[in-house]
Amino acid sequence: MSQKTILVTGSDSWIGKWIAQLAHQEWWKVIVHSKTDTDELKNIHKDLEWSDKLFFDISDQETVKKEIWEYIKHHGCIDCLINNAGVKTVDIKKIEEFDGKKSLAEREVNVLWSLYCMQSVIPAMQKKWGWSIVNIASMKWIPQLSTISSITYAAAKAWVLSITRSIAKTYGKDNIRCNAISPGYIQTGRSQKWSDETKERIDWGILLSRLGTPDDIAPVALFLAWDEAKYITGENILVDWGYMLKGK
Ligand SMILES: NC(=O)c1ccc[n+]([C@@H]2O[C@H](COP(=O)([O-])OP(=O)(O)OC[C@H]3O[C@@H](n4cnc5c(N)ncnc54)[C@H](OP(=O)(O)O)[C@@H]3O)[C@@H](O)[C@H]2O)c1
């Protein structure tokens, strides 16, 4: 089978970087991406032989279309899109702290980015009859895990799951699969900012008493991306080491 091309958004950092590295090991042609041309992006591009590099702000619809279409025009179809880039910027302790503007900005990146990227790759996938999209959500959409600190992040990630199903349903006839992953608490740059309350909740809730790591997520993303999962679409895989069973 010929080499397939995979675009991993936000691949200069933690989970996205692991997905890009593992994809490279598994013989994908990787397109690494970040908002700007960071040193981390330059390094990963250099490390991953035969990779390509794109940098653009995914919260801008026209920029996303332009960059992705230009890439497809010059290099051919993107076979797989991993919508990994995301932010959690709203972190409140009581409703008085709620700030609509901040919340909308968070939602824009987490929800609209995935739609902009999908909108840009799907027409070429349709022409080529197929391949796959994986959206990185979060376990925070699960009702019993609701917290005030994730009041808008959880809703944004629930929306990502809804979008995943809509795309799977609409484009299944074109042999395009669309799935999601909901990671639990993963050790990344974000975990350094967790409050004591969050840390306590994690200690109590994770059955294995260890945080997840980006290498717990990357193989699941690539399983869903690849042909091994060719009969799976519209699905969401929770990767949380049982947190949902016990967590609060
Ligand atoms: N860490 C966790 O515990 C956890 C749990 C559940 C789900 N997740 C989800 O997993 C994904 C990756 O998480 P992570 O912890 O690895 O995050 P991270 O280290 O903060 O990485 C986020 C990536 O998204 C990119 N990004 C953010 N805003 C962007 C924008 N407007 N345009 C383009 N790129 C943008 C960042 O690029 P720059 O560096 O250039 O800003 C960065 O590469 C996210 O979707 C997150 O919500 C994480």
Q: Supply the DSSP string of 159-170, one letter for each residue.
A: HHHHHHHHHHHH
Helix axes 100-107, 153-171, angle to 10 degrees: 30
Pocket test residue of 88, 163, 186, 198 for ligand 1, highest count of atoms within 8 A of CB: 186
> Ligand 1: residues within 6 Å at CB?
10, 12-16, 34-36, 38, 57-59, 84-87, 109, 136, 138, 183, 185-186, 188-190
- Print the domain residue range for 126: 5-246
Give the lowest-confidence range in 45-59, 100-114, 174-188.
Answer: 100-114
CATH number at residue 70: 3.40.50.720
Is residue 206 scored above 80 in pLDDT? no
Confidence category of residue 248, pLDDT binned at 50, 70, 90: low
Q: Provide the domain count of the chain.
A: 1
Task: Decide: 79 and 4 in contact? Cβ < 8 Å.
Answer: yes
Q: pLDDT by residue (tens digit) across 160-182?
A: 999 999 999 999 999 999 999 99
- Atom from ligand 1 closest to the CA of residue 136: 45
Pocket test residue of 35, 63, 67, 159 for ligand 1, highest count of atoms within 8 A of CB: 35
Assigned token pair, 37? 């041309």
By CB atoms closer than 10 A (0-12, 13-18, 19+), residue 89 is middle
Q: How far is the CA of 173 from the centre of ligand 1 (A)?
A: 31
